[in-house]
Amino acid sequence: MEGVQSSYLINYTTRFWKLSHSVVARTNATILTDVRSGVEYSVTVQTLLQMGQSNVTSQPITIKCSTRQTVALEFGFTAL
C-alpha cells in the first residue's frame, strides 16, 4: 500500500436523531464539526484508494465537551 494515494471518508451519525455528517480527509487526522456535548456518535472510516474503496471500519464514540465545538479525530489502519 506504500506509495498509493488515498483519502478517507469519515461519516458520523447521532444514534438518537440519526443525523449524519460526512468529511473527506487526505490524512489520517481530521476535525469533526457540528458535534454536540454528551451526544453519542457512530463514526465510520473508509479508505478511498485510487483503485477503489476499502472495507469500512466502525467505532462508536461519545463526544464529551462542555460546549458545542469541533473535535479532533486521528485514526490509523494496518494494511493486510
The edge-to-edge listing of strands for the beta sheet with 6-14 is 20-25, 6-14, 40-49, 52-62
Question: 3-37 pLDDT, tens per residue?
Answer: 556 788 888 888 777 788 888 888 877 877 777 77
Higher confidence at residue 19 or residue 75?
19
Residue 21 has φ and ψ, to the nearest 5°, of -130, 150
